[in-house]
Structure 1
Amino acid sequence: MHPSTKEGIMTREANVAYATTKVSESSQVVEALKCRAAAIPLSALAVETRCNGEADAFPGTWPTRFSKGLEHNAFGIVTTYSYNNFFEEISDPSYTDNMGNRIALFDSPAYCGSFQTRPNAEGSEFSWRNWDMPFAYHQLVAQAPEANSVALAPAPCLGSDELAAEMAELYAMAYLRDLSFEAMRTSKTSQQVAAALSNMPWFDPEQTPTDAEGNPLSMVSSNRRTRDGENLTPQTLFRGSSAGCADGPYVSQFLLQGAAGPEEKSDALPDKSAQFKIGRWDPRIIERAPGVDYLRDWAEWLDVQNGANTKKERAAFEGKKKFIETPRDLATLACIDASCKPYLNAAALLLDWNTKSDLGLSQHEDRRHFDDSGKEHLLSFLKETAKRAHRASWRQKFETHNRARPEKLGSVACLVENGYGAELGAAEAMATQHVDKLGSASSKDFNLIEAIVAAPSERRFKHNTRSWSRLPQMTRNLLLPVASPGGSPMHPSYGAGHATIAGGCVTVLKAFFCTHSADQRPMSLKEAGAPAAFVPEDGGLNLKETKGDDASDVLTLNGELNKLAENMSLAGCMAGVNYYSDSFDSLRMGERIAVGILAEHMATFRSNVTMTLETFDGDFLTISGNGAGSSEIRVSGCSLSDWWTRHLPPQPQS
């Protein structure tokens, strides 16, 4: 992250020393890393992380806990043996084979029965799908911020207004999955959906939502209630919480403007954004067939929960490359492995626009641009941030929260709605309360839950004559329509990898580039050097320039960076595999990881430098290095400790 300017922000000797430190495995280097960590202001910060307690509240059924790939009964309730053994093995793997090699329980299928369905290809059977990296968080690193200094707050509980609103919003996203974002801003359908959601206590500013026990919201939940924009309207529907997310088009310019490779150069791409000296990324996606959703059949849903690998059953692609135009298009990004490619593209665009570096990196106007060495440092720093953010999210997933994916919560609503609530054991009362609260998503001319019940329940896999034998009859279908045949990934929902990476990488971009004037006025895209702003034409095959309030002289650079982070993190919600709180909290955890990494590296500078950025919550945060081996973080209006733990429950006093 060391942008080299003519002033020599980082000397060649310091750069070589840093590289040597990164690759050496000697004990002296480990000690040096520990000393460096102690020199930054995060060394004394340790946070307490805990789950929401539902594992103990609902023993034996665990309806809100991750159990995908384990054995479930006909009602979708995970078996006690497979659930307990799985998480015991996650904590302390103990099995070995005859050769002494470790074989944990999750190295082989936990479900050994036959699946109810099979692939559409003749003569083939579904294989078993393994879990994704349950050990990733065990890796030890001598880097800041340390693993115990970042955390996620407890997830919303079953029966709360918050969780009911999250699931209602996911149902609404699925219902509008093929409506273009531009049409969504004005259409009657989106107006009906916004009006229905607005009647829920969580979305109505005139009502007072409560937790599962009927108590006032905690500060954690109150923070999550924050959205950008006034009230819930077609313009603000499904937007994020940060400044600028509700302004203009839904999709960030950094997900529309990019560079096609030489063999795929398209006339649809704006000329000035079509060539980069570094990095090539085509922002278009291959169109998926509209109207094709999955896991709306109980037998198919159950097979996927038991671990059937159905990923190859995806409906045929249309074959056309298009720009992101609909929620289904954005959901496509959630089905791709989390990476930093969109943020590398954003960096390449900003460099191509000649956007100036942060004021604190150089006060001389003619020196506030990156040379080739500075560009390489920026891009490598984005990759490093993405790697650490990904590792942190996995630690929260398996070690602490083990939150079930939304497709499982849809089954809970199905059981209650069809008279099988008793199968949920101790969770029945809260599950019934949850379904009752879902029913409040209704207006005079539209009922969201009835719309989902009436949605297509087509079978997507091949069924045998016994597919429905011994399975409950679901006449009112509240299974969540998901965009992928495999449903969610094979790891818990919270934290969200895409969102944590988005929070970290966008924070790095804000720190490196000048997003505000000296008086803290947000800089417009035009002032940042953008040639124009665009939206997809109908069909998504081409872009058209925006006008009026959607133009580049109105949209802000900071807002479009916030929008990039929110788009990427909410893509999982569009696909039906994440909740809003996954996005909200994980973005902010990623932000803190990036701030810690920036502080760590600012301590290596040989001169006084600063970086200033506006956080996702609207704070102005400054990271400075004193040129003598230490750094400082200052937050406007509050202490670093208060900002660092803002989205967590009250922390124990040291």
Structure 2
Amino acid sequence: MFFKNDCLIELLSPYLRSLKAFKIRKLAALFYKKLPLLHHPCNKDEERYLNKVASYSKALPHNNLGEVNLDAYNKYLKALKTGIPHDFEKIPLSGLRKLVNPQAAYAFELVGPDSHQLIIPPPPSFDSAEMASEMVELFWQALTRDVPFNEYDTNDLTITAAKELSALIDFRGPKIGGKVTPETLFRENLPGALAGPYISQFLWKDIPYVGTKITQRYQTTLPKDDHLTSYEAWLAVQNGLMPTTPCPNKLDPIPRYIRNGRDLCRYVYNDWSVEDGLTPCLILLSFGSEAWDSNNPYLRSNTQVGFSTFGAPHVLDFVTRAARSALEAAWFQKWLVHRRIRPEEFGGQIENVLANNANYPIHPQVLKSDALALTYDIYKSYLLPQAYAEGCPAHPSYPAGHAAFIGAIVTILKAFFNESFKIPNPVVASSDGLSLECYTGPDLTVGGELNKLAYNIALGRDAAGVHFRSDGITGLHLGEAVAIGILRDYNATYNEQFKGFCFTKFDGTPITI
């Protein structure tokens, strides 16, 4: 059977084609409709503390202790409970800072799971040892921002940080033999991610781009460019005030390869989302067909190559589209479930407790930590030094948005590419960030370096002082769940004989979709 112009063979009549397309979409929708209705657990801190000291409130009006005005907080809650756009316009803000996109929590997606159908565990409670241990880690990350990653094993600060974190109750970072070491410091134990340098090869190697190459030397800030270490500045940003100069951070005039925590902080300040997927995808595509996953149906074809399906446009589309869906899932959890405070806010509460201005139930292991004492010696306050002049973004902490979108991006890349493929000609940045040197350690694989990229982007936000460890790690798993749903829904749309997407999840579990 032919179309009227006799130029294309028609496999299905227009009616049958539309019916099949409808069936594919209907079955995907029914899959999610039949899922059990879920309860979203939270840590109950918002109910437990009537002054909302454990809940996110930046940009609303606060008293001199940084405690939110309860009338304003209740109007903010009303808008979140009703979801009525007009109610959001009634939230009483205190300064120029605006809340970031709370209505994204209500958005729907047409592919993959609905954001409200994904469950994450509650964050650590305000008074817990885990919360305190996460804060101790953040103080150490702030104190070591200028230490090159390749000097962690010899620097006194990073050695001391590893020692203190090893002794903490309920610290959940990676350990070797039960201890945090300079090799595991500020990392996460994702499959293969502890091998080799701290920074992923995908943040160092040149990027092939439209017939040229982009060198990954980025604008960074000067050493010791830390902010919000005075109480007056801290309180001002809680009340929504913005820095008074166009670029209050002190920028380094020389672009550098990412070589320390400060450089990484700046990188995850300037990225939006999809760049973190586009960059590794273009690098992976430059490795050739051997880097594709073995289930790619065109690796076995004698007459065809992939393009719109199972080729570069396919993976480039998926790796970027997954980012927004993951952000929507994170925004639902942030605004409608948890409303967890930011580390910046928690630092102010520590300051008020130790200044005897308030009596909050903060676990003593952060109040008595070496990291906090050293912070006071340097800055004469107990506030958490921020890498960004304006401090954290104007949305709740848990889970981290960067972690959610990089979790989805990395999951898509692992599904399309061969995780065991060895990275050719691996490199490591020099201590000054001006050059790349040859890396000579154990082999680095695509899977391990993608997982490393995931924790680089997620925990890079921790290094800036704007997120807790659990924000990032939970966000990675949430983004992974979003990506798995997208891959599953599209699996019914292909004509090729395809065995499915196979990869290793962040928890080490192999999966086939």
TM-score, length-scaled by structure 2: 0.90
Give the counterpart of 1:87 among 55, 61, 77: 77
Alignment of 1:511-550 (within 5 A): 511-516=415-420, 523-525=421-423, 530=424, 532-549=425-442
Q: Check if 1:104 corresponds to 2:37.
A: no
Deviation at 1:496, TM superposition (A): 1.1
Q: Check if 1:450 corresponds to 2:373.
A: yes
SS of 2:295's equivalent in the other structure is helix
Change (3 A) 1:300 1:364: closer
Cα deviation digits, residues 433-460 of structure 1 (max 9, x gap)? x2x121564xxxxx22210111235xxx
**Aligned-partner Cα distance in 2 for 1:252–1:13:** 47
Q: Which residue of 2 aligns with 1:75?
A: 65
Q: Which residue of 2 aligns with 1:335?
A: 269
SS of 1:185's equivalent in the other structure is coil
Q: Which residue of 2 aligns with 1:614?
A: 504
Q: Check if 1:191 corresponds to 2:159.
A: yes
Q: Which residue of 2 aligns with 1:298?
A: 231
Unmatched runs of 5 consecutive residues or more in structure 1: 1-10, 22-27, 97-101, 112-126, 204-224, 260-274, 423-427, 442-446, 458-476, 517-522, 624-654
Q: Is the 8 A contact 1:281 1:345 kept in 2?
A: no
SS of 2:252's equivalent in the other structure is strand
**Aligned-partner Cα distance in 2 for 1:278–1:508:** 25
Unmatched runs of 5 consecutive residues or more in structure 2: 1-7
Cα deviation digits, residues 491-547 of structure 1 (max 9, x gap)? 11112111001110100110101114xxxxxx432xxxx2x1111113101111111
Give the counterpart of 2:150 among 166, 173, 182: 182
Q: Check if 1:158 corresponds to 2:158.
A: no
One-letter identity of the residue aligned with 2:138 = L
Deviation at 1:47, TM superposition (A): 3.6
Cα deviation digits, residues 353-409 of structure 1 (max 9, x gap)? 114322222385677996554101110111110111111111111111111110000
Q: Is the 8 A contact 1:46 1:150 kept in 2?
A: no
Cα deviation digits, residues 576-609 of structure 1 (max 9, x gap)? 0000000111100111111110000011122343
Give the counterpart of 1:571 among 460, 464, 476: 460
**Aligned-partner Cα distance in 1 for 2:428–2:336:** 41
Q: Which residue of 2 aligns with 1:268?
A: none
One-letter identity of the residue aligned with 1:514 = N
SS of 1:358's equivalent in the other structure is coil
Give the counterpart of 1:48 among 18, 26, 39: 39
TM-score, length-scaled by structure 1: 0.71
SS of 2:111's equivalent in the other structure is coil
**Aligned-partner Cα distance in 2 for 1:12–1:326:** 58
**Aligned-partner Cα distance in 2 for 1:614–1:93:** 37
Cα deviation digits, residues 5-45 of structure 1 (max 9, x gap)? xxxxxx9999xx9xx99xxxxxx9888634333368x9525
Give the counterpart of 1:351 among 271, 278, 285: 285
Deviates more, 1:281-290 or 1:154-163: 281-290
Taking only the aligned residue pairs, the percentage that are identical comes to: 30
Q: Which residue of 2 aligns with 1:221?
A: none
Q: Which residue of 2 aligns with 1:244?
A: 192
Deviation at 1:332, TM superposition (A): 0.9
Q: Is the 8 A contact 2:83 2:106 kept in 1?
A: no
Cα deviation digits, residues 617-637 of structure 1 (max 9, x gap)? 1001011xxxxxxxxxxxxxx
**Aligned-partner Cα distance in 1 for 2:387–2:405:** 22
Deviation at 1:277, TM superposition (A): 4.3
**Aligned-partner Cα distance in 2 for 1:421–1:13:** 75
Change (3 A) 1:350 1:413: same
**Aligned-partner Cα distance in 2 for 1:86–1:369:** 56
Q: Which residue of 2 aligns with 1:393?
A: 330
One-letter identity of the residue aligned with 2:233 = E
Change (3 A) 1:565 1:95: closer
Q: Check if 1:493 corresponds to 2:397.
A: yes
**Aligned-partner Cα distance in 1 for 2:247–2:287:** 42
**Aligned-partner Cα distance in 2 for 1:137–1:284:** 35
Q: Check if 1:62 corresponds to 2:52.
A: yes
**Aligned-partner Cα distance in 1 for 2:477–2:403:** 9
**Aligned-partner Cα distance in 2 for 1:391–1:315:** 30
Change (3 A) 1:367 1:562: farther
Cα deviation digits, residues 35-92 of structure 1 (max 9, x gap)? 333368x952554212210111001x21121100001001111111111111212322
**Aligned-partner Cα distance in 2 for 1:368–1:555:** 33
Give the counterpart of 2:204 among 256, 269, 279: 256
Q: Is the 8 A contact 1:406 1:578 kept in 2?
A: yes
Alignment of 1:357-376 (within 5 A): 357-362=292-297, 364=299, 371-373=306-308, 374-376=311-313
Change (3 A) 1:89 1:31: farther
**Aligned-partner Cα distance in 2 for 1:412–1:293:** 19
Change (3 A) 1:234 1:362: same
Q: Is the 8 A contact 1:504 1:593 kept in 2?
A: yes
One-letter identity of the residue aligned with 2:506 = F
Change (3 A) 1:353 1:142: closer
Q: Which residue of 1 aligns with 2:365?
A: 437
Change (3 A) 1:370 1:12: farther
Q: Is the 8 A contact 2:138 2:462 kept in 1?
A: yes
One-letter identity of the residue aligned with 2:89 = A
Q: Is the 8 A contact 1:30 1:142 kept in 2?
A: no
One-letter identity of the residue aligned with 2:451 = N
**Aligned-partner Cα distance in 2 for 1:313–1:609:** 51
**Aligned-partner Cα distance in 2 for 1:256–1:486:** 28
**Aligned-partner Cα distance in 1 for 2:88–2:349:** 33
Deviation at 1:299, TM superposition (A): 0.7
**Aligned-partner Cα distance in 1 for 2:232–2:493:** 58
Q: Check if 1:227 corresponds to 2:198.
A: no
Change (3 A) 1:419 1:39: closer
SS of 1:105's equivalent in the other structure is coil
Q: Check if 1:484 corresponds to 2:377.
A: no
Change (3 A) 1:369 1:337: farther
Deviation at 1:315, TM superposition (A): 2.9
Q: Flag the structure with higher helix content.
A: 2
Change (3 A) 1:494 1:370: farther
SS of 2:379's equivalent in the other structure is coil
Give the counterpart of 2:488 among 588, 591, 599: 599
